[in-house]
Structure 1
Amino acid sequence: MIAPAVRRGVGHAACHHGEILQGVFLDATGRRCAGLVTLPMTGPGSRAEFTRRPGTPPERLGVLPGDRTKAARAAALAVAECARRCREAPCGGELRIASDIPVGLGMGSSTGDVIAVVRAVADSYGVRLAPDTVARLAVRAELACDPLMLDTRPVLFAQREGRVLEVLGPRLPPLVVVGCALGGGAPVDTLSLPVPAHDASDVRAFERLRTLLRRAVATGNAALLGRVASASARRGQELLRHPEFDTLTDIARRLGAVGVQIAHSGAVAGLLLDPGARALRHRVRGCVRALESNGIAVTRTFTTLATTQEFQSGPAHRGGHRPTGSDTPRRPARLPAL
């Protein structure tokens, strides 16, 4: 008897640079739900390769690195989904994951792994899963997920439900983002943070920010987007309490940034600049120097333009944010630098 042939599939997922807006919003039925708008960024990402072995029991699933438990759950869920669609029995296999998305900075490292794995499993079955299906599987695998399975259109996304609350428009206003890592880039244990309680006045405030962000996207207004991001970041500090936050906002004010942006579940942050501002490169260099002189690690400067542009204007960031261990590739993971 000839053994069934092994079948391989690969999948990729990008990262993001934290949130522009996060809070509690009303869905189309008027129900409250947590939601967020992320800041897309090209560069770091997750890659998965799944080799499925037809005829083996589905619980026989090898995963490298071995402690990617969320990714392993995602693989099992994706196998069940794809096998059902193909009218086959679920089977086991081997899963390999490599990622250079920094862990603990709030850039979607776990969601990146999960989505790459789901896509790799689907590829091994020759199945193309719709983004809402990928989102549903991701939420089941990790309880909440970022909208990395979608395209780069700005959306208000219910991260605990895996659904889009609103498509805000075709693209974000053009921005230059001078990225940095607060707290020395130390990972944030989001599971140890208290769950914030939001009352009706909080929801009204978040809805006002949602309206302003919708207007910023519709008009391409970088200054208005910066105002929303700064307000959201300030609200996030009620929970995260980054000691450098006041320094960050002071640098933004002094050097003419339109606002600041901070991951609500991590330490990555950014100074937001209007690319149409006078002496832009001088402003970028000034932001880099100001951050470094205040002991804030500079990571990467990038834009939200359709074709990502890098600003070569500063020392390379030489540290790796992703901690070494069985959960990581051995090559240093770092954010491409200025």
Structure 2
Amino acid sequence: MSPRSTGATGRGQAPCHHGEILQGVFRDGSGRPCPGLVTLPMAGPGSSAVFTIRPGTDPQAPTVAPAGRTNAARAAALAVAECARRAGLPPCGGELRLAGDIPAGLGMGSSTSDVIAAVRAVADAYGTRLPAGAVARIAARAAGPACDPLVPDGRPVLFAQREGRVLEVLGTALPPLLVVGCDLGGGAPADTLALPVREAGEADVRAWERLRALLRRAVAAQDARLLGAVATARARRGERVVGHPEFEALAAVARRVGAVGVQIAHSGAVAGVLFDAGRAAALGLPYQVRGCLDALEAHGIPAARIFTTPGVRARACASFSPSHPAAELLWTSTSRSRQATRT
């Protein structure tokens, strides 16, 4: 891609996620303990950005709309410096416009999505193509104290969120899942900075490494049940700190309706009931989902969204007709908008 002249406009997009499957402290390649996480990808809501280069303006202070998106503005400034250097152009400030439909404060990566969309828009405006690692490093610097792994190429990764680097690529794809998502605590944004912080001991690291090994095996074998067990174990560990009052009810519903487990965001309110969407298991999914929706409602935990991991929709969701209770909540893994499936 050839460099563009100043005054150009670029565009960028980034997805969100649905909280974590695994989160803790793990050993990196050198054996050093390092905070890391594996997120549950979700196609659907996301952030988009438009960046217009304005010659003669401060490259360290781009304007941003809506106002208050300070992390995205910081990311744009960092990206300008990097992209201008790569393109052989003088760094210039500009105007950054953001749009998106990710609920903020629920643990779905809304801030990181804004940041990555902004970086991609700046790169597009400068006619450069930043490698994923460079985007991740800029995002980590801009989004401090941590960013989410929204940059890699769709493969499940263990991501060091405070450093912006991949600790391990776990495989090519997650096992086939259908997720019934809900927002705990009435969907109120979580103040994660107010939560108590406990230093990880050696026993904690060993426990997280065991879960890491199990998740690696689940991805290799495409074993949704094993992944569900890992996600549930991680959620229970996280609940020692977060303490959602609905957690036990959520876990009980999952067991009752034949789900493989539950997952909960480590920083926010989103949670999911996980179902095996493999070829054989998918045949009974509409009945399981209907039972799950009813049970969640009975416990005062209304479902907010339903989605699948990539590549699942055709076989797992085709039987959700528009009249099915799940149809209005369905986000597909290949569409960026909510839609009911065909009959």
Alignment of 1:297 with 2:302, yes or no, is: yes
Other-structure match for 2:102: 101
Asked whether 1:237 is paired with 2:228, we answer no
* Counterpart among 180, 189, 207 of residue 191 in structure 2: 189
CA–CA separation in structure 2 for the residues paired with 1:238 and 1:304: 28
Q: CA-to-partner distance for each residue in 1:279-323, whole Å, 9 max, x for gaps?
A: 2210011001111111112111111142546545326779xxxxx
Structure 1: gaps spanning 5 or more residues: 319-334
Equivalent in the alignment of 1:157? 159
Question: C-alpha distance in 1, partners of 2:195/2:304?
Answer: 25
Partner Cα separation in structure 1 for residue 115 and residue 85 of structure 2: 20
Amino acid of the structure 2 residue aligned with 1:264? H
| Residue in structure 2 matched with residue 325 of structure 1 by the alignment | none
> Against the structure 1 CA distance between its residues 5 and 230, is the aligned structure 2 distance closer, same or farther, given a 3 Å change threshold?
closer
- Provide the rounded CA distance (Å) in 2 between the counterparts of 1:196 and 1:308: 40
> Deviation of residue 194 (structure 1)?
2.3
Deviations 1:230-256 (A, max 9, x none): 000001101111000000000011111
Equivalent positions of 1:205-284 (< 5 A) are 205-275=207-277, 276-277=280-281, 279-284=284-289
When the two structures are superposed, what TM-score results if normalisation uses the length of structure 1? 0.90
Q: 1:147 maps to what in 2?
A: 149
The alpha-carbon deviation at position 188 of structure 1 amounts to 0.7
- Do structure 1's residue 121 and structure 2's residue 122 form an aligned pair? yes
- CA shift for structure 1 position 59: 4.2
| Most deviating of 223-232 and 138-147 | 138-147
Partner of 2:334: none
Aligned-partner SS, 1:58: coil
* Residue number among 296, 310, 314 corresponding to 2:325 in the alignment: 314
Per the alignment, residue 43 of structure 1 pairs with: 44
**Contact (CA 8 Å) 2:123, 2:129: kept in 1 or not?**
yes
Give me the TM-score of the superposition, normalised by structure 2.
Answer: 0.89
Paired letter, 1:154: P
| Distance change >3 Å, CA 220–CA 315, structure 1 → 2 | closer
Q: 1:175·1:274 contact (CA, 8 Å) conserved in 2?
A: yes
Matching residue's letter, 1:291: L
* 1:151 Cα deviation after fit: 1.7
**SS state of the match for residue 42, structure 1?**
strand
1:73 partnered with 2:74: yes
The 1-side partners of 2:339 and 2:292 are apart by: 14
- Range that drifts further, 184-193 or 307-316: 307-316
1:135-171 residue CA offsets vs partner (Å, 9 max, x unmatched): 0000110111111011211110000011111000000
- Corresponding letter in the other structure for 1:187: P
Find the residue that maps to 2:325 and give its secondary structure: coil
Structure 2 contact 6–53 (Cα < 8 Å) conserved: no
Q: Distance in 2 between matches of 1:124 and 1:43?
A: 25
User: In 2, Cα distance between the equivalents of 1:59 and 1:270?
Assistant: 40
C-alpha distance in 2 between matches for 1:267 and 1:202: 24
Aligned to 1:180: 182
In 2, the alpha carbon distance for the partners of 1:11 and 1:179 equals: 27
* Offset at residue 22 of structure 1 (A): 0.3
Shifted more, 297-306 versus 213-222: the winner is 297-306
**Structure 2 stretches lacking a partner, 5+ long:** 330-336
Work out the percentage of aligned pairs sharing the same amino acid: 65
- For 2:298, give the aligned amino acid: S
CA distance in 1, matches of 2:119, 2:235: 31
User: How far apart, CA to CA, are the structure 2 residues paired with 1:307 and 1:258?
Assistant: 16
In the other structure, the counterpart of 1:17 is: 18
The one-character-per-residue Cα deviations of 1:25-60 (angstroms, maximum 9, x if unpaired) are 000100000000001110000000000112333245
Cα contact 2:61–2:77 (8 A) shared by 1 = no
Check whether the contact 1:299–1:317 (CA below 8 A) recurs between aligned residues: no
Q: Deviations over 1:264-286 (max 9, x none)?
A: 11111111111233522100110
Letter paired with 2:308: T
What is the aligned length?
A: 320
Give the distance between the partners of 2:189 and 2:163, measured in 1 at CA: 25
Distance 1:94 1:64 in 2: 8
